[in-house]
Amino acid sequence: MALAEACYLAARQLPASETFGLALQIRRAAVSVASNIAEGHQLPRASYRHHVCIALGSIAELQTQFELAGRTGILPPDLVGELDQCLREIRRMLIRLRLSLRRDP
């Protein structure tokens, strides 16, 4: 949820011309991460693992979107760096969660 909040705040900093472009994609991917984790948690183990994989895909989308925002200069480099660090940490946590879901309960 903290990631989704940070992404929403970052998306607000994008120019108005990006409201229905990059900003929308950022918000959707950020919500997807939290939503897939929450939904998967209520499902059987194999389905949960699948939802974690989808959340990892959304993390990759966010990394790409923020890299683009940084490369084009529409977000400040320090903000992009902070977001990238956060995304990397959450990616590591999700990978560990995915691995733990492979093990027998």
Answer whether residue 49 is part of any domain: yes
Whole-prediction pTM = 0.92
With H, G, I as helix, E, B as strand and everything else as coil, classify residue 57.
helix
Q: What pLDDT is recorded for position 18?
A: 78
Answer whether residue 56 is part of any domain: yes
Q: What pLDDT is recorded for position 81?
A: 97
Q: Which residues of the chain have pLDDT under 70?
A: 104-105
If you write DSSP's letter for every residue of 11-53 in order, what string do you get? Answer: HHTS-GGGTTTHHHHHHHHHHHHHHHHHHHHTS-HHHHHHHHH
Answer whether residue 47 is part of any domain: yes
Answer whether residue 105 is part of any domain: no
Answer whether residue 16 is part of any domain: yes
Answer whether residue 71 is part of any domain: yes
Answer whether residue 70 is part of any domain: yes
Domain that holds residue 46: 2-100
Structural domains counted in the chain:
1
Answer whether residue 66 is part of any domain: yes
Q: What CATH number should be reported for the domain holding residue 25? A: 1.20.1440.60
